[in-house]
């Protein structure tokens, strides 16, 4: 009499989004009502629906899967927000590489004293010296505005090279440790 191991698939554990929401509420501190959960479930299901879990029991799988889920949830949320902001930039905003606005107003007085007789100052950095040998003053005011722009084509090419994907495969890969990977034996026939 032969017995086979019982296999549990992702699609049997989480057959629908409602069951996944229940899991999120029970095994994590993530708010189950957030829209990001539906987004994550959609792609976890697409990647792992026919995958065997790497645990003997469903509860063990849910506990470990929940740790990974909570550990990576905020990272994906932040990445989605940053990428959304990046994708929502207009072509005009992408064309401006460097923008420098200079409004400088500065002034100063420099005093030099070679007087050893001054010894009774309580706060020499804030009090005026009674004997000044040299005094230099300057005042510089520049209210100009400078806007530096790069060539439009270079700006677009630079932005195009910096646009990234949604890191979705990277995120899904973090859950791979919870599923079995069966590698077929390879037979090599050498002549």
Residues 133-146 have pLDDT tens digits of: 665 655 555 544 44
- Give me the domain span that covers residue 137: 104-142
Specify whether 88 is located in the same domain as 111.
no
The reply to whether the predicted model has a pTM over 0.75 is no
Q: Please report, for residues 19, 20, 22, 72, 178, the alpha-carbon distance to residue 26 in angstroms, rounded to integers and kept in the order given.
A: 11, 10, 6, 17, 18
Say whether pLDDT at 114 is over 70: no
Say whether pLDDT at 74 is over 90: yes
Specify whether 65 is located in the same domain as 120.
no
**Which of the pair, 168 or 149, is modelled with greater confidence?**
168
Q: Does residue 1 form part of some domain?
A: no
Specify whether 23 is located in the same domain as 113.
no
Residue 46 has phi, psi (to 5 degrees) of -60, -40
Q: Does residue 84 form part of some domain?
A: yes
Q: What pLDDT score does 147 carry? A: 45
Q: What pLDDT score does 99 carry? A: 46
Q: Does residue 157 form part of some domain?
A: no
Q: Does residue 2 form part of some domain?
A: no
Specify whether 131 is located in the same domain as 174.
no
Q: What pLDDT score does 88 carry? A: 87
For residue 120, the 8-state DSSP code is -
| Number of domains, the chain | 2
Q: Does residue 147 form part of some domain?
A: no
Residue matched to tokens 């191991």 = 5
- Segment 16-22 long-range contacts (CB within 8 Å, at least 24 positions apart): 17/41
Specify whether 38 is located in the same domain as 108.
no
Q: Is 70 exposed, middle or buried (0-12, 13-18, 19+ CB in 10 A)?
A: middle
Specify whether 21 is located in the same domain as 55.
yes
Q: Does residue 187 form part of some domain?
A: no
- Structure token digits, residue 59: 């509860």
With cut-offs at 50, 70 and 90, classify the pLDDT of residue 103: very low
Specify whether 136 is located in the same domain as 171.
no
Specify whether 73 is located in the same domain as 111.
no
Q: Does residue 133 form part of some domain?
A: yes
Q: Does residue 158 form part of some domain?
A: no
Specify whether 57 is located in the same domain as 129.
no
Outline where the chain has alpha helix (H): 10-13, 17-27, 35-48, 58-87, 91-95, 152-162, 168-173
CA within 13 Å, CB half, 170: 10
Specify whether 38 is located in the same domain as 129.
no
Residue matched to tokens 């009502």 = 33
Q: Please report, for residues 3, 16, 177, the alpha-carbon distance to residue 7 in angstroms, rounded to integers and kept in the order given.
A: 12, 19, 16
Specify whether 88 is located in the same domain as 14.
yes
């Amino acid at each position: 009499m032969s017995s086979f191991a019982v296999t549990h698939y992702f699609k049997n554990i989480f057959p629908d989004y409602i069951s996944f929401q229940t899991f999120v509420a029970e095994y994590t501190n993530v708010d189950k009502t957030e829209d990001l959960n539906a987004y994550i479930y959609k792609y976890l299901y697409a990647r792992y629906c026919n995958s065997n879990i790497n645990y003997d029991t469903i509860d063990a799988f849910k506990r470990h899967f929940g740790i990974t889920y909570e550990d990576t949830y905020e990272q994906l949320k932040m990445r989605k927000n940053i990428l959304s902001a990046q994708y929502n930039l207009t072509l005009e905003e992408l064309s401006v590489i460097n923008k420098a606005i200079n409004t400088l107003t500065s002034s100063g007085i420099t005093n030099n004293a070679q007087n050893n007789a001054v010894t009774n100052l309580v706060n020499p950095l804030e009090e005026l010296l009674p004997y000044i040998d040299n005094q230099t003053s300057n005042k510089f005011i520049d209210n100009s505005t400078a806007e530096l722009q790069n060539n439009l084509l270079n700006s677009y090419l630079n932005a195009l090279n910096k646009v990234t994907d949604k890191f979705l495969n990277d995120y899904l890969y973090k859950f791979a440790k919870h599923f079995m990977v069966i590698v077929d034996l390879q037979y090599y026939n050498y002549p």
